[in-house]
Amino acid sequence: MTEMPPSRPLRETALLGLRLGVTAFGGPAAHIAMLRNEVVTQRKWLTDADFLDFLGMTNLIPGPNSTEMVMHAGATRAGRKGLVLAGVGFILPAATITLFFAWLYGRYGSTPGGENFMLAIKPVVIAVVIQAIVGLLRVVPRTVASFLIIALAAGLFLAGVNELLILFGGGIAILATRRARQIWSLSLAPLIVPFLLQTGNPSNPTTRDLFFSFLKIGSVLYGSGYVLLAFLQGEFVDRHGWLTEQQLLDAVAVGQVTPGPVFSTATFAGYLMGSWSGAIAATIGIFLPAFIFVFLTHGLVHWSRKGETTSALLDGLNLAALGLMAGAAWILGRDAIVSVWTLAIAIVALIALVRFRVNSTWLVLGAAIVGLINAATGFI
């Protein structure tokens, strides 16, 4: 058999990342399904067993799951360089497209036409988040404790409690109910305290402020990309006032329209808070931890779900993450549902998502067309 040229695996991983970065619409679950088709069915870089092992590891560590899965596939095919090339290839198209939309938004988003355009998209975004919550609720343990943790997490978030405390509190709660004697293993908790005490410029964030704020979020964010809503709401809307709720919802809407990782929402938000340098700082900050975590854990996938302690922590983190998603959806929904028309759009979108499994991208694009009509007529 002829030996494969050394450079070919690197080209393959880079091109795979770029292809998915341009075509992977529909959110993390859709991204992962597309990746499996590429690396298991088509290319046979991984077996299904390997793929599931990596998926379990990405659920155990912070960061965007679908992005980390692309990195794991790249590392399997071409080592550490493949990890970086696949990850950058997946992120770059989404970040570039999102940055372009952020520039357009900065010029036109605050005009009456721009506001009317976004008015139809916002309810669809809320429906997408609700649909994600409903789908995830189907796989959580059907116990009183599970639903209490979800409800408590949502309530604490609405009361203004820091998201990190809520997440790790959920992990501790589940671990305590299963193996109380091993709570000492959460020795990483003191490392989180400096993040909780971090403060920034109350009015004008610097590039450094934005980088470290997004680095903090990327370092501790568990769950799906939609949990990012809760962190952005708490950090930039409630805590510092650097974004308005409307700007945050608009950023999420653009993240739904563009392909690739949902975390590219950070690029849009960074641009609104710090122009071009803010967008770059936010993008690097939010994604850098994922590269580090995948680099450190790529060889550890086979025991990630075997340990009782790690499994309990993961379950608790996921339950708390669901509560954060629900709290963020409630807050953003108050800004999105402002009329009978917007309520109708949200209900129709939710039915299409849950009952007919319509891809969220098509719903957002359809809402964008309605938004263009509304910008011209103002009928909503």
Q: What confidence tens digit (pLDDT) does each residue in 252-305 have?
A: 888 777 888 888 999 999 999 999 999 999 999 999 999 999 999 887 766 655
Cα–Cα dist 117/111, whole Å: 10
Whether pTM > 0.85 for this model: the answer is: no
Residue 193: the pLDDT is 42
- Contact (Cβ atoms closer than 8 angstroms) between residue 83 and residue 26: no
Cα–Cα dist 234/61, whole Å: 21
Q: What confidence tens digit (pLDDT) does each residue in 20-49 have?
A: 998 887 667 668 878 888 898 889 999 888
- Contact (Cβ atoms closer than 8 angstroms) between residue 208 and residue 201: no
Residue 95: the pLDDT is 94
Region 206-235 average pLDDT: 86
Location of structure tokens 């997946």: 90
- For residue 25, is it left (φ>0), alpha (ψ between -120 and 50) or beta? beta
pLDDT-derived band at 223, boundaries 50, 70, 90: low
> What size, in residues, is the chain?
380
Q: What confidence tens digit (pLDDT) does each residue in 195-216 have?
A: 444 444 456 799 999 999 999 9
